[in-house]
Amino acid sequence: MRHFLQFSDFTLEEYEHLFKRAAILKQRHRAGELYQPLVGKVLAMIFEKSSTRTRVSFEAGMSQLGGHAMFMHSKDTQLGRGEPIEDVAQVISRMTNIVMVRTYEQSIIERFAENSLVPVINGLTNEYHPCQIMADIFTWVERNGPIQGKTVAWIGDSNNVSRTWLQAAKVFDFKLNLACPRGYEMTVLDGQTYGSRYFEQFYDPFQAARDADIVTTDVSVSMGYERETLQRKRDFLNYRVSEKTMLQAKANALFMHCLPAHRGEEVDPEVIDGPQSVVWEEAENRMHTQKAVLEYLLLGKVDN
Ligand code: CP
Ligand code: NVA
């Protein structure tokens, strides 16, 4: 049994398979073709934080594959009243076939997975957001081919999304340039783990964006960090992706954002609503790539 708890849980060869399947599933969906290999299967989705895309993409995707998706928010379940995560995992995994969890610390989803009888997928933790970066890289690959050797410029916080880009840089062999204010750097551990072949720390966003193939950013205040809002808004003032930032990158560079976005804060409207932006494709591709993951974790390598 496999879990998808962080990006490095799958190999390059597995991502190649998943992308091939995602492209097929996307094309079938667009053609209105019925493909329902997961009839009778149930996906449990446990949310401890808010969501639009993750919920809709998993729920719609599971239904399209013929299965059923069950939405649970911890505040409406016994989890919110202190039931141990280990006990919840034992119970839920005896009644369902696969589980998606969005929670706080990565250690929570790991404890869930250790006690689960079925595969567990990370739908975002404080540390990682593997489904997002899988969709983002698929979006690049669909348009431009391999991402190997390319440069991704991240302007903003060293958060769950940028940390996952860093894991992906190692799997796919590309470079992540990260520009953030002092005090918000990628932790030493992450930097040391991946080395400068995959990662370079900047403080100047224009330098980080120079000759990049992808420019990307995210909110400066992630879910769970709301107490730091005032300080972070001040600290990230100079890290907004603007048209000037995009001019540093390659002429055909793509702009990506996992969404939700705050126009005028981490990105200017001219960029996110401009011609280089692929944010709606990224969001849609969450569903197609996650369908490939559901199929893979439940049925193995399918080739039809
Ligand atoms: N990008 C993303 O995960 O969005 P949601 O928080 O809306 O699920
Ligand atoms: N970094 C953001 C991503 C939201 C999809 C957060 O964790 O809130």
Question: What is the pLDDT at residue 191?
Answer: 63
Tokens of 271: 């960029």
How many domains does the chain fold into?
2
Residues 137 and 270 grouped into a single domain: yes
Residues 97 and 231 grouped into a single domain: no
Q: How far apart are CA 267 and CA 282, in angstroms?
A: 16
Residues 149 and 269 grouped into a single domain: yes
Could you say which of 6, 132, 248, 276 is catalytic?
132
- Torsion angle, alpha carbons of 32, 21, 129, 212, to 10: -100
Q: How far apart are CA 142 and CA 120, in angstroms?
A: 27
CATH number of the CATH domain containing 222: 3.40.50.1370
Q: How far apart are CA 202 and CA 194, in angstroms?
A: 16
CA of 219 to the centre of ligand 2 (A): 7
Residues 143 and 265 grouped into a single domain: yes
Residues 146 and 270 grouped into a single domain: yes
For residue 81, the 8-state DSSP code is G
Residues 99 and 75 grouped into a single domain: yes
Q: How far apart are CA 142 and CA 123, in angstroms?
A: 23
Residues 211 and 264 grouped into a single domain: yes
Whether 218 sits among the annotated catalytic residues: the reply is yes
Residues 195 and 291 grouped into a single domain: no
Which residues, including other chains, have CB under 8 Å from residue 51's CB and lie 6 or more apart? 102, 123, 124
Residues 123 and 137 grouped into a single domain: no
Residues 201 and 289 grouped into a single domain: no
Is residue 139 assigned to a domain? yes
Mark out the alpha helices in 182-268 (DSSP H runs).
188-198, 205-209, 229-235, 243-248
Confirm if 130 and 164 have CB atoms less than 8 A apart: yes
Residues 220 and 290 grouped into a single domain: no
* Tokens 């520009």 -> residue: 179
Tens of pLDDT, residue by residue over 36-54, are: 999 999 999 999 999 999 9
Tens of pLDDT, residue by residue over 160-196, are: 999 999 999 999 999 999 999 999 998 866 666 666 7
CA of 284 to the centre of ligand 1 (A): 11
Whether 286 sits among the annotated catalytic residues: the reply is yes
Could you say which of 276, 286, 288, 290 is catalytic?
286
Question: What is the pLDDT at residue 194?
Answer: 64
Domain extent, residue 289, equals 3-129+283-299
Query: In which element (H, E) is residue 39 found?
Result: none
Tens of pLDDT, residue by residue over 120-164, are: 999 999 999 999 999 999 999 999 999 999 999 999 999 999 999
- Is the previous residue joined to 260 through a cis bond, with omega within 30 degrees of 0? yes
Whether 102 sits among the annotated catalytic residues: the reply is yes
